[in-house]
A and B are shown apart, each in its own frame.
Chain A
């Protein structure tokens, strides 16, 4: 087991290195930061000089090794756009994204499980069918459109929620939280729904199909036969047994919630890492893009590693 873990961690590191290499290879194609850093009255020689200063005149492999070398010393570089260390910027932006992802995750999980159970026990009923179709409508439109429609309805027309940003935040050390103010909590509502809608539908459908299978198992019939109430059967026995796949999927989805918060953050001007990344693409802010991608891959690789280790712990046959 220990050697398996060591091997996996080693592989994970290799994955990170390759992600970095691919990232640097593609930066050349995203555009050129020079035009953003110099004004209208720049000359050809200004361009050449700044390129040399930033090391952009070198092949991407060299740029990549420089990045890795300084990253190993804990230095992620300086943002081209903001002129300050990328690490500082990421620390500043992370709480917004993590809080949004957490709230969307909780929203998706709670509502997903409840609706999943309802649609499973009332299979083919009018309510269940309506819920199924409504949830599908939510995933049949692109996220950006759902976000804009929510803003239009709830912020502009009804004025229930604010149209952008995090509201007021409270600083707890390095962490800024929106959980402690009314405007901060209100600001979370629309983006969380936008971000969590897809996962909610996914979890709901997963719970429903697992429940449908479980409800036909013999032990459920026995439980019913023993005269247990329908509610006890549903929740204590059936739901409990659907939780393993649900938790696995949710765990994997948590990573993608953070990674793909990009669109939601852009629509709601949510000051998190996804918005930072989109701005970095527009500016061709290479240090920020590189650091963000590495961070996301650490997260994905980490989650995959944990899931794989759990599988191995559960099912020894899968050991290779």
Chain B
């Protein structure tokens, strides 16, 4: 984003600070707050090993007798206390949230990047060339839409299991999640980009570029792409929140992150099993974290959409 302080000559920084976009940002409290919240969450995920009190992903660190300890109360068996309590395995909920958020954010960003890459490429190609290329790509999109992401996840998981070398197996689930969420995500990018491309390609500047003999791909990337990016950026922001939630849902359906390395979504899935039994903290803290994260990202996306929409200035 243009407003992040960067080690650049002062004049440029000042120019960015004075731009419409930055002015708009500075004068929207919602945007500032959600940006700060997102940044804090991102940073705490990034520096999880420094902030956490234990590494919950190392099974050797877990003492089962520390299981189900309520927030800030000493354990019945070991006397240890935990800020946000512990889960059924004796994992410190606070540390697990930090580590789990890393996985959720990684899956979210990677899935959106994948969906974005496939969707924008296919959308550009589809809209620019039209004809049979367009038909085939759009029909592939139809096939894709039919498959619920749970099925895609199960398929990829099954196929991947056969081909992954043993030592990468425990990473497998994460990549399966990224692939399956990314694959069920690309269609919306493709549709938006295709629509915008079909409009852009008939404009004079593209016709002109064609006339002077420019090749198709450079035209697509240099001329059309920048003009279709703003709706894509907005969808991408909202998709990030959706991808993090989708990961939780897949976990609920039994194809999520491995239980020994729980993501935020897996933690919620585990926690909802303890809703009636009174161990509210296992569900509550991860849910609030997910809620805050998704809310902040969504609000940022909202603001971005309004800010990039010239009709609303």
Contacts and interface: CB of A to CB of B under 8 A. Distances in A.
Chain B binding surface SS class: helix
Contacts of B51: none
Interface string B127-165: 000110011000100110111101100110111000000
Given A14-B139, A19-B146, A136-B298, A318 B198 contact: yes
Given A137-B291, A142-B265, A297 B298 contact: no
A260 B146 contact: no
A132 B301 CA distance: 13
A301 interface: yes
A301 B143 CA distance: 8
B272 A145 contact: yes
Contacts of A213: 309, 311-312
A140 B298 contact: yes
Given A28-B158, A216-B311, A140 B147 contact: no
Contact of B245 (A28, A141, A209, A262): A141
Nearest to A308: B138
Contact of B299 (A136, A152, A216, A318): A136
A30 B139 contact: no
Contact of A297 (B134, B146, B158): B146
- How big is the A interface, by class? 35 or more
B12 to A, nearest CB: 32
Interface in A274-320: 278, 281, 293, 296-297, 300-301, 304, 318, 320
B248 interface: yes
- How big is the B interface, by class? 35 or more
Contacts of B168: none
Contact of A15 (B139, B151, B155, B248): B139
Contacts of A29: 154-155, 157-159
A290 to B, nearest CB: 12
B241 interface: yes
Contacts of A148: 272, 275
B142 A297 contact: yes
B122 interface: no
A213 B312 CA distance: 7
Contacts of A297: 142-143, 146
A140 B37 CA distance: 15
A141 B198 CA distance: 36
A13 to B, nearest CB: 11
Contacts of A136: 294-295, 298-299
B81 to A, nearest CB: 28
B142 A15 contact: yes
Contacts of B131: 320
A282 to B, nearest CB: 9
B252 A263 contact: yes
Given A136-B295, A144-B249, A262 B150 contact: yes
Interface in A209-261: 209, 212-213, 216, 259-260
A24 B291 CA distance: 38
Given A26-B155, A139-B298, A293 B305 contact: no
A152 B275 contact: yes
A143 interface: yes
Contacts of A296: 146
A17 B312 CA distance: 45
B105 interface: no
A320 B158 CA distance: 40
B75 interface: no
Contact of B148 (A18, A30, A143, A260): A260
B77 interface: no
A15 B150 contact: no
Contacts of B158: 26, 28-30
Given A142-B248, A301-B142, A26 B241 contact: no
A26 B151 contact: yes
A19 B134 CA distance: 19
B143 A142 contact: no
A157 B139 CA distance: 48
Given A30-B158, A293-B151, 17 more contacts: A14-B139, A30-B154, A133-B299, A136-B298, A139-B245, A140-B245, A140-B290, A142-B248, A145-B287, A148-B272, A213-B312, A259-B146, A278-B253, A281-B154, A300-B146, A304-B145, A318-B198
Q: Which 8 A-B pairs have the closest CB atoms?
A: A29-B158, A140-B294, A297-B146, A26-B155, A142-B248, A144-B252, A142-B249, A140-B295
Interface of B: 30, 130-131, 134-135, 139, 142-143, 145-148, 150-151, 154-155, 157-159, 198, 241, 245, 248-249, 252-253, 265, 268-269, 272, 275-276, 287, 290-291, 293-295, 298-299, 302, 305-306, 309, 311-312
Interface of A: 11-12, 14-15, 18-19, 22, 25-26, 28-30, 129, 132-133, 136-137, 139-145, 148, 152, 156, 205, 209, 212-213, 216, 259-260, 262-263, 278, 281, 293, 296-297, 300-301, 304, 318, 320
27 contacts: A15-B139, A18-B139, A26-B151, A29-B155, A30-B155, A30-B158, A132-B302, A137-B295, A139-B294, A139-B298, A140-B291, A141-B294, A142-B248, A144-B248, A144-B249, A145-B272, A145-B287, A148-B272, A152-B275, A152-B276, A209-B306, A213-B311, A213-B312, A263-B249, A297-B142, A297-B143, A300-B145
